[in-house]
A = this chain, B = another copy of it.
Amino acid sequence: MTGLSRRSFLQTGAAAAAGVAAGQLTGVADASAATASSLTADVVVVGAGLAGLTAARNLVKGGRSVVVLEARGRVGGRMLNHDIGTGHIAEAGGEFIGATQDHIVALAAEVGVTTFDAYDTGNNVYVNGPLTLKYADQPPFGTAPADPLLLPDLLLLSQQLDSIASTMSVSAPWTDPKAAQYDSITLETWVRQNALNADYTLNVLASATQALWGCEPRDVSLLYAAAYVASAGNETTPGTFERLLDVKGGAQQSRFVGGSQLVALNIAKALGARVRLNQPVRSITQASAGVVVKTDALVVNAKRVVVAVPPPLAARISYSPAMPSARDQLTQRCFMGALMKVEAVYATPFWRDAGLTGQFLTVGGPVGYGFDNSPPDASKGVLAGFVGGQYNRKLGAMTPAARKAAVLAQFAAVLGDSRFLAPVDYFDMNWVDEPWSRGAPTGLFGPGALFEYGPALRTPVGRVHWAGTETAEYWTGYMDGAVRSGERAAAEVLAAL
């Protein structure tokens, strides 16, 4: 945690935002979830992010006793509400939902969380060297600037990427006839091989991958990138690259009233004492009769376990017997994106008066992509942005004051208004520093990893099942994928019990 102090972090966690404290979550306690150091349940869920909570919820619905072990002092994983005062929040983590993300939409509705449209009225701003463009969302590519040096490549490459994705199995992209070829090159290499104006296009693409994945175009393989595009849809609507980037009709279409973490908080509230905070899982031991899951303070005996944390963190649990090599290699070859979210709070979203949406795309960092993150009633103005990939490393190494100054200077320069230099509040959240995330938004794969070890992504190992957005078929990397993965893992376990 960098700009966000430990104190404010805890205040914005489960306890503060939901009016419940660790160990005092309300709701019907599981009979088996006593306060003793030894517990028994049908199923242990490791991780109270959206995937784990969804799994737990469905297991309870299925009549099973559940204990959820969460390392942090809060629930929500990579979703985190930050209190900006006067009853409002801004998300310091994942926040957007959009078209075809049916599962998070349905779940949120079930737990009483409503949505509102992301602010998208007016012009976006694009800055690339000497070129500054103001433009409204419009065809042929919703949120793309009409940069004549970029647009041909954007249309060409997105069409090609969509074409590759269109025939790809979302459940097993590594079975694609060309999977070995796609997984032998980086996304950067593919752009260089196919773009008309490669250096220029790659510079813009880097701003997009920094925000989308917290990485550079060289860090992921073409197979991973194409699989991610294929995943950005649902059973009836194929995924497209544009849907990942768009606001209207895309992944940034809507937001949650009360903040995304409220979905997790409401599920946790209903799960009550089943959710145990401050319980990092240290070991999982499988025997013929069941599993034993240990934290520093608890020993939980269960029939099955759902591990709902990102692969690189799942690898840090001690398993007995040891994980099979395919699973272990998969986790060794998955790495979390390097993403920081930076946010400045103003008395009003004054940029709206100037006809700006607040969205911007800039080349050369540090903030590659920015957007209006104000509360639904616009009672305050919040401008947020992502610092990913190479700029994450650079800004992460700065002092908090220097980082704040760099961000605000860029906000002011890009949106052309010195008022951005004087926010009433500023906070940032560098997810790579978070011990129980160590990066965001999702676990990524470089060349060779998915082709060789993809099948281990969600294949259960004995009594150990895997959840988490990385394991989702649709909307991997997103809240919707997290929900889907939790539902799938719960169904697996219910069928096995």
A residues near B, CB below 8 A? 180, 183-186, 188-189, 215-219, 280, 282, 312, 315-316, 318, 322, 324-326, 328-329, 332-336, 338, 389-390, 393, 396-397, 430, 432-433, 435, 438-439, 446-449, 452-453
Contacts and interface: CB of A to CB of B under 8 A. Distances in A.
Contact of A184 (B188, B316, B389): B188
Most interface-central of A217, A393, A446 (chain B CB within 10 A): A446
A296 to B, nearest CB: 9
Contact of A186 (B186, B389, B396, B439): B186
Contact of A335 (B185, B329, B433): B329
Contact of A332 (B335, B435, B448): B335
Nearest to A337: B329
18 contacts: A180-B218, A184-B186, A184-B188, A184-B218, A185-B189, A219-B449, A315-B315, A322-B433, A325-B338, A325-B438, A326-B396, A329-B432, A332-B334, A333-B335, A335-B449, A389-B452, A390-B452, A447-B447
Identify the 3 closest CB pairs spanning chains A and B, nearest first: A325-B432, A446-B446, A184-B218
A218 B447 contact: yes
Contacts of A324: 433
B186 A328 contact: no
B183 A325 contact: no
A162 to B, nearest CB: 23
Most interface-central of A326, A329, A393, A396 (chain B CB within 10 A): A329
Nearest to A432: B325
Contact of A189 (B184, B315, B316, B334): B184
A219 to B, nearest CB: 4
Given A447-B446, A452-B393, A218 B183 contact: yes
Contact of A439 (B217, B322, B332, B430): B332
A447 B186 CA distance: 8
B316 A332 contact: no
A183 B447 CA distance: 12
A71 B147 CA distance: 58
A432 B430 CA distance: 33
A322 B2 CA distance: 13
Tallying the copies of this chain within the complex gives: 2
A332 B444 CA distance: 10
Nearest to A193: B189
A301 to B, nearest CB: 19
A448 B215 contact: yes
Contacts of A335: 329, 332-333, 449
A389 B335 CA distance: 20
B448 A325 contact: no
Nearest to A202: B184
Contacts of A332: 312, 334-336, 438-439
A335 B312 CA distance: 11
Contacts of A390: 452
A185 B186 contact: yes
Contacts of A219: 447-449
Contacts of A448: 186, 215-216, 218-219, 446
Contacts of A188: 184-185, 447
A284 to B, nearest CB: 13
Contact of A316 (B215, B315, B336, B438): B315
A453 B280 CA distance: 27
A405 B190 CA distance: 41
A329 to B, nearest CB: 6
Contacts of A215: 448
Contacts of A282: 282, 318
Contacts of A430: 325
Contact of A393 (B186, B326, B333, B396): B326
Contacts of A322: 433, 435
A431 to B, nearest CB: 9
A447 B435 CA distance: 24
Contacts of A336: 329, 332
Nearest to A332: B335
Contacts of A185: 185-186, 188-189, 218
Contacts of A447: 186, 188, 218-219, 446-447
A325 to B, nearest CB: 4
A329 B316 CA distance: 14
A397 B430 CA distance: 40
A218 B183 CA distance: 8
A173 to B, nearest CB: 16
Nearest to A311: B332
A278 to B, nearest CB: 14
